[in-house]
Amino acid sequence: MRRGRGKSPTELLLSGKELSYNNLLDVEAALAAVRGHGENACAIVKHGNPCGVAVASSRGRALELAWSSDPVSAFGSVIAFGGKVSRADVVSLGLDDPDKSKRKFVEVVVAPEFDADAVTYLATNKNLRVLPLRPEDVTGAEDLRLCLGHLLVQDPDEQLFTKLEVATKSPFSPDRELAELGTRVVRSIKSNAIAIVTRLPGGEAMLLGMGAGQPNRVASARIAVERAHATLRDHGLTGDELNAACAKAYAVSDAFLPFADTLEVLADGGFRVLLEPGGSILDAEVVAVGEARGVTVIMTETRHFRH
């Protein structure tokens, strides 16, 4: 079923098999994850959560960075791009590699538009679905869900944050663009959500690791830290270089910290900047622990909390 007059996603397919129920859910999640980052952005989604997001000098470079965020989870994923895709943007998938073990398995590639050469290349895998949809196609849509025989309607989560207030005492000037990237990513992740993002030399930015859907925020923080460390090691960083990379990354929480335990996990992992909405009755304690552990705490006053 569909609402509105437009063609269904299956009718828009340029190549590949029919879209499944799960494919469609992941396509929507991928478009939401890549939206707002610009044309040279890429998001990789698996089971409704972005496991890789990057903004780079080209869409092809963004794909490579996003894939490196979590190459294991990227297997069987949906990939979304912010702009028109050429063959060069997707050639890193290795779909025509003589060594079949080097071909990356992807369910769907979605972008606003595809060059003819890109479609021909992606069709090398006859099952790979090639879908022209824009990230803007998920903008402003109400969130509808059937629950207990009723239809729940929720306004879209559009606002990133209302402020970036440094709550700890040491002077700190937030990187607004990196804060926006981290917030866009974390609002796309199922709560409890922690996203760790960083800016690379030359201005590119990427998701290092995330924790999603855990019943408690501490567990999500542990998962995000472990994944971020693995990503940095995969990029060749160890020892002091890895520690320095952790210190400049931003950890972003989709909701306030009820206790300081989540911050402690991030600090133990070497992360020194935390964005969170604030609003807990223990905010002062969280900030005090941040000061003691050398973590800059930035309050955003905006919760996301995707369910």
At 303 the pLDDT is 64
Over residues 244-255, mean pLDDT: 95
Over residues 141-165, mean pLDDT: 82
- Which pLDDT band, with edges at 50, 70 and 90, does 236 fall under? very high
Q: Is 300 exposed, middle or buried (0-12, 13-18, 19+ CB in 10 A)?
A: buried
Over residues 171-175, mean pLDDT: 88
Asked if residue 228 has pLDDT above 50, the reply is yes
Segment 38-49, tens digit of pLDDT: 999 999 999 999
Asked if residue 4 has pLDDT above 50, the reply is no
Whole-number Å distance between alpha carbons of 58 and 62 = 6
**157-299 is classed CATH 3.40.50.1370:** no
% of the chain residues with pLDDT over 90: 77
- Which pLDDT band, with edges at 50, 70 and 90, does 1 fall under? very low
Q: Supply the DSSP string of the chain, one letter for each residue.
A: --SSSSPPHHHH-SBSSPPPHHHHHHHHHHHHHHTTS-TTEEEEEETTEEEEEEE-SSHHHHHHHHHHH-TTTTTTEEEEESS-B-HHHHGGG-TT-SSGGGSPPEEEEEES-B-HHHHHHHTTSTT-EEEE--GGGGTT--EEEEETTEEEEE-------S--EE-SSS-----HHHHHHHHHHHHTSBSS-EEEEEEPTTS-EEEEEEE-S-SSHHHHHHHHHHHHHHHHHHTT--HHHHHHHHHHSEEEESS--SSSHHHHHHHHTT--EEEE----TTHHHHHHHHHHHT-EEEE------B-
Whole-number Å distance between alpha carbons of 158 and 304 = 9
- Name the pairing type of β-strands 106-111 and 129-132: parallel
Most confident of 10-14, 106-110, 169-173: 106-110
Over residues 257-279, mean pLDDT: 94
At 307 the pLDDT is 65
At 74 the pLDDT is 97
Omega within 30 of 0 (cis) for the link into 243: no
What are the φ and ψ backbone dihedral angles of 110, each rounded to 5 degrees? -125, 135
At 99 the pLDDT is 95
At 138 the pLDDT is 73
Q: Which residue has the higher pLDDT, 156 or 228?
A: 228
pLDDT, the chain, mean: 92
Segment 53-84, tens digit of pLDDT: 999 999 999 999 999 999 999 999 999 999 99
In the chain, where the domains are located: 9-138, 157-299
| CATH T-level topology, domain 9-138 | Cytidine Deaminase; domain 2 (3.40.140)
Asked if residue 154 has pLDDT above 90, the reply is no
Asked if residue 301 has pLDDT above 80, the reply is no
At 136 the pLDDT is 84
Segment 103-133, tens digit of pLDDT: 999 999 999 999 999 999 999 999 999 999 9
In order of 44, 45, 66, the CA distances from 231 in angstroms are 15, 17, 10
Asked if residue 5 has pLDDT above 70, the reply is no
Segment 274-294, tens digit of pLDDT: 998 988 889 899 999 999 999
At 34 the pLDDT is 95
- pTM metric for this prediction: 0.93
Same fold, 9-138 and 157-299: yes
